[in-house]
Amino acid sequence: MDQPENEEKNELELALERYRPVLVTLAEAMISPAYRGDIEASDLVQQTLLEAHTGASVLEPLDDGPFFGWLRKSLQNNMLDAVKHLKTQKCDVSRRVRESELEESFARLEQVLAGDETSPSRLASRNEQIATMLSSLQELPDNQRRAVIMKHLQGFSLKEVAASLGLSEPATAGLLHRGRQNLIRRMGKCDE
C-alpha cells in the first residue's frame, strides 16, 4: 500500500474513533426502553462503523458536517433494520412500541442535532459542539447518563424516567441535576 492510502485510512480511523462515543450515545438515545435487551447500542455502532469503513472511498471525514450527518443517518437506518429483524423473528415488538413512536424518537433527536446554520463553518462548529456533548455524555455514570438521555434526548417526562429507572421522582430529579452538572464540567474540560 502506498503512503497516501495509509494516510487516508489513518484519517478515517481517527475520525471514526472520535465519533464512536458520539454514536454510542445516539444509539442509546434511539433505543426505546421496550427494546432494551433486544437491541444493543454497541451492535448498532459496530455496524455503522463497518459501513463507514466499507464506504471509505465516498466519505470525506475531514468535512465534519456531511460526514457526521452520514454517520447519524447510517445509525438510524441500522436501528430500523434491527427493529425489522426483531419483527421477523416473531417477537411481539409491535405491542410494546409502535413504529410511529420510533419515528418520533428519530425526529426528536434530529431537532436536537439540527441547526439553522447555513455556512459550512457554522455547521462544522455546531457538529463539533454536539459531538463533544454526546461524547461527554458517555463519560457520565450509567444511571446519570440514562436519565439525561431519556429526559433530554428522548423527551420522557420525569415520571417516566423515574419509572424506567425504578426510582422515586425526587431521586430521579436529583440524578438528572447531578448528571447535567457533571456533563457541564466534562464539556468544560474538553474545551480546555
62 and 111 part of one domain: yes
Residue pair 49/23 in contact (Cβ under 8 Å)? The answer is: yes
Number of domains in the chain: 2
pLDDT (tens digit per residue) in 18-37: 889 989 988 888 887 777 77
Domain membership of residue 53 (yes or no) is: yes
What is the distance between the alpha carbons of residues 29 and 96, in angstroms, rounded to a whole number?
17
Judge if 105 and 178 occupy the same domain.
Answer: no
On whether both 114 and 39 belong to a single domain, the answer is yes
Q: Which domain holds residue 35?
A: 3-120
Q: Do residues 102 and 81 make contact, with C-beta atoms less than 8 angstroms apart?
A: no
- Per-residue pLDDT reduced to its tens digit, 103-161: 566 566 666 655 555 666 776 677 777 778 888 888 999 999 999 988 888 888 999 99
CATH of the domain at 94: 1.10.1740
Whether residue 82 contacts residue 46, with contact meaning beta carbons closer than 8 Å, is answered with no
Residue 145 within a domain: yes
pTM listed for this prediction: 0.69
Q: 29: part of which helix (H) or strand (E)? A: helix 3-30
Closest alpha carbon to 35 in 100, 90, 88, 79? 79
